[in-house]
Amino acid sequence: MSAMPLRVLPKTRLERIHLLWLIIGIGNFAAFFAHVLLDGTSAFPGGGRFVDGHYLVHEHGKEIPFSEAGYFFSYWHGVIFVTIHIVCMVVGWRLGTRISQRTPPA
């Protein structure tokens, strides 16, 4: 009984590009996750309301206050996160399809 060799590093250009997009997607998710842990919420997509000089973002029955700069950072970080995540998923899926079509069955 022989075990298949474990191939860790990508061999072809498409596999290297695929790995790069995977790393970008994981880094993007980790950055957004850290942001939500530190702030307690994200202003995207629910938004918030402006009250007495600060923004209140509703999250699970609580209202979390944000400064104007913090609110806009949180909102745009959410927009950018979703955009990059969708791009990474589509590119990863397309490259994965092309790689599987080029790889001969073992």
Would residue 84 count as lying in a domain? yes
Per DSSP, helices labelled H in 1-106 are 13-39, 68-102
% residues pLDDT > 70 (the chain): 90
Would residue 67 count as lying in a domain? yes
Domain hosting 49: range is 13-102
Residue-wise pLDDT tens digits, 21-48: 999 999 999 999 999 898 888 888 877 8
Torsion of CA 37, 41, 44, 46, to 10 degrees: 160
Q: How many domains does the chain have?
A: 1
Beta-carbon contacts of residue 64 (< 8 Å; ≥ 6 apart): 39, 40, 41, 56, 57, 58
Would residue 78 count as lying in a domain? yes
* CB-CB contact of 11 with 19 (8 Å): no
98: tokens are 């092309």
Residue-wise pLDDT tens digits, 45-93: 877 888 888 888 888 888 888 888 888 998 999 999 999 999 999 998 8
pLDDT at 4 over 70: no
Q: Please tell me the pTM assigned to this model.
A: 0.75
